[in-house]
């Protein structure tokens, strides 16, 4: 039965290890076709750092085709994590897709996304919580965003959850810009920035940073104009 609503909001997948952590994704999803349009047209999304499916699974359930780019085998194949807040069982993305019969519409690419073509293939490209991770520090934040935005097709949407620096080290390293600096990073011809927003400070502990700490979350949503009619 087809969902008749134009675009019902998407929630994150509650079964993901990363589900409890803040994201602007549910609010941002109002820009995406998620109802009958998505089920009929099957637009294509690329989730950078797809992990165990926090964003890929809701997009797939809504009808999207998804390319999930991820380099961490634990989140693709599953396993156990012993952290300061206890043991976590990670059900990998592959099993989660198979359990719901979604594997035919999701391509997993086990590569650094910076090695993939950036030739405007996707109606939606997103990344959340990955920009400052160690492998990405081989590139400037400008290069990381240029590449990700280059993957967006004309008419498509780019979305990033990113972090604003909260202390001198973060502010100095180049991966935690302020709103103005992020505005300069994403500014380019043929695009309109829909939102560039400070979303406030959240406390958290997680894999990779288990000590209780704080992040100032922010989100950018940008629209690539449709190609001019010829």
Ligand X SMILES: C[S@@+](CC[C@H](N)C(=O)[O-])C[C@H]1O[C@@H](n2cnc3c(N)ncnc32)[C@H](O)[C@@H]1O
Q: Based on the shown chain and the rule CB under 6 A, indicate whether residue 70 belongs to the binding site for ligand X.
A: yes
**Which of 103, 112, 121, 195 lies at the binding interface for ligand X (CB under 6 A)?**
112
CB nearer to ligand X: give 208 or 230: 208
Q: Based on the shown chain and the rule CB under 6 A, indicate whether residue 129 belongs to the binding site for ligand X.
A: yes
Structure tokens at 210: 């288990």
Q: Based on the shown chain and the rule CB under 6 A, indicate whether residue 49 belongs to the binding site for ligand X.
A: yes
Least Å from the CB of residue 1 to ligand X: 30
CB nearer to ligand X: give 36 or 207: 207
Residues 163 and 217 sit within 8 Å (Cβ to Cβ): yes
Residues facing 141 on adjacent strands: none
Residues 203 and 213 sit within 8 Å (Cβ to Cβ): yes
Length of the chain: 230
Q: Based on the shown chain and the rule CB under 6 A, indicate whether residue 114 belongs to the binding site for ligand X.
A: yes
- Residue 113 and residue 160: Cα distance in Å, rounded? 14
Structure tokens at 77: 């194949």
- Residue 188 and residue 194: Cα distance in Å, rounded? 13
Stretch that binds ligand X, among 46-54, 58-66, 85-93, 213-221 (CB under 6 A): 46-54
Residues 195 and 212 sit within 8 Å (Cβ to Cβ): no
Pairing of strands 191-206, 79-83: unpaired
**Which of 21, 31, 175, 191 lies at the binding interface for ligand X (CB under 6 A)?**
21
CB nearer to ligand X: give 49 or 63: 49
Stretch that binds ligand X, among 27-35, 47-55, 145-153, 195-203 (CB under 6 A): 47-55
**Which of 10, 130, 160, 186 lies at the binding interface for ligand X (CB under 6 A)?**
130
Least Å from the CB of residue 11 to ligand X: 13
Q: Which residue has the tokens 């990405």?
A: 136
- Residue 59 and residue 150: Cα distance in Å, rounded? 21
Q: Based on the shown chain and the rule CB under 6 A, indicate whether residue 51 belongs to the binding site for ligand X.
A: yes
Dihedral sign, Cα of residue 224, residue 155, residue 127, residue 14 = positive
Stretch that binds ligand X, among 38-46, 58-66, 112-120, 182-190 (CB under 6 A): 112-120
The side-by-side arrangement of strands in the sheet containing 122-128 is 106-109, 65-69, 44-48, 122-128, 152-164, 209-224, 191-206
* Residues contributing to the site for ligand X (CB under 6 A): 18, 21, 23, 48-49, 51, 54, 69-72, 75, 112-114, 128-130, 133, 135-136
């Amino acid at each position: 039965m087809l969902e008749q609503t134009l675009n019902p909001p998407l929630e994150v997948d509650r079964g993901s290890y990363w589900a409890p952590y803040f994201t602007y994704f549910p609010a941002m999803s109002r820009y995406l076709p998620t109802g009958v349009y998505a089920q009929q047209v099957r637009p294509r999304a690329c989730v950078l750092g797809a992990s165990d499916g926090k964003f890929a699974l809701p997009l797939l359930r809504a009808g999207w085709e998804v390319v999930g780019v991820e380099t961490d085998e634990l989140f693709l194949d599953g396993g156990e994590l012993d952290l300061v807040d206890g043991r976590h069982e990670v059900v990998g993305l592959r099993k989660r897709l198979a359990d719901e019969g979604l594997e035919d519409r999701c391509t997993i690419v086990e590569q650094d996304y910076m090695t993939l073509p950036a030739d405007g293939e996707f109606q939606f490209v997103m990344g959340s919580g990955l920009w400052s991770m160690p492998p990405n520090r081989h590139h400037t934040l400008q290069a990381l965003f240029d590449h990700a935005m280059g993957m967006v097709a004309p008419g498509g949407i780019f979305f990033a959850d990113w972090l604003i620096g909260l202390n001198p080290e973060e502010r100095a390293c180049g991966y935690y810009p302020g709103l103005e600096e992020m505005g300069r990073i994403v500014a380019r011809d043929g695009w309109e920035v829909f939102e560039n927003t400070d979303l406030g400070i959240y406390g958290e502990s997680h894999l990779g940073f288990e000590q209780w700490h704080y992040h100032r979350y922010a989100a950018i949503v940008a629209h690539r104009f449709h190609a001019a009619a010829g």
